[in-house]
Amino acid sequence: MTQLGELVKEVSIMLGDKVIGEFYPSEEIKRAIGDAYKYYVMKLIQGGEGYFETTTNLDLVANTETVSLARLNPPFLTCSVLWRKLSTGYKPLRKNEQRFKFQSTIGIGAGDTYIPEYRFRGTNLVLTPYPIHNETDGLKMDYVYIPTFPNRLSDNTFEFDSNFPSIFELNVKLRTVVKLLESKDASGGVSDIATFRQELADADQVFEQSLTKDENPDIVEYHGIDYNVNLT
């Protein structure tokens, strides 16, 4: 996306200001841009299509069940997949939904035989059973993160997250314009915003269609056991 300062200029022109800040202060425009950008970011995240997803490695600490996620950068939002690093590759771990299930601490495996289940407790990852040896980068986590949003005091050089599709920059600008025009109308101003509302509706329709999942996905070739073959 365009840097914040350039977006402010473009939105100001769309609002009819001959000079930036003539009727709409740049701080007010920045705040509205931040709100619009956040609206679409959260929509993309909720769509579950892999936007704003990254990977990090996590250490295993002996006799400690929790792994802190509080200092992850970018900030952690939700886990997509948690992997256990093995000598032969990575194995996806199962989330433990049975919080009251008995878990034995006798005979806990180590190395490749240590395959825990996991759950979350606040900003901590909880492993069951806990590891009995230290292991650097023993886990790999694919997770959805929260990008940084601009605010009214953000610098003009603020750069939007590269995972945000630039094709939806128009949506951000239109939503910003409509919000600012509506705020002026609410305070007694007179603005014809019907055209901008229609343009936003059309742009949002394209946005929503891009998030619609295919209900009839292509057939994927199966490479496992063919149970239709007569093995006798």
**pTM for this prediction:** 0.79
Residue 125, phi then psi, degrees to nearest 5: -90, 130
Over residues 185-202, the pLDDT tens digits come to 654 444 578 899 999 999
What is the rounded distance in angstroms from the CA atom of residue 22 to the CA atom of residue 5? 16
Domains of the chain, first to last: 4-48+150-211 (no CATH), 53-145 (2.60.40)
Residue 6 has pLDDT above 70, yes or no: yes
**Residue 103 tokens, joined:** 């878990």
Q: What is the CB neighbour count within 10 angstroms for residue 34?
A: 20
Model confidence band, residue 218 (pLDDT cutoffs 50, 70, 90): very low
List the Cα angle 70/94/139 in 5-degree steps. Answer: 50
The per-residue pLDDT for range 127-186, each reduced to its tens digit, is 999 999 999 999 999 999 999 999 999 999 999 999 999 999 999 999 999 999 998 765
Report the alpha-carbon distance of residue 38 to residue 89 in Å, rounded. 37
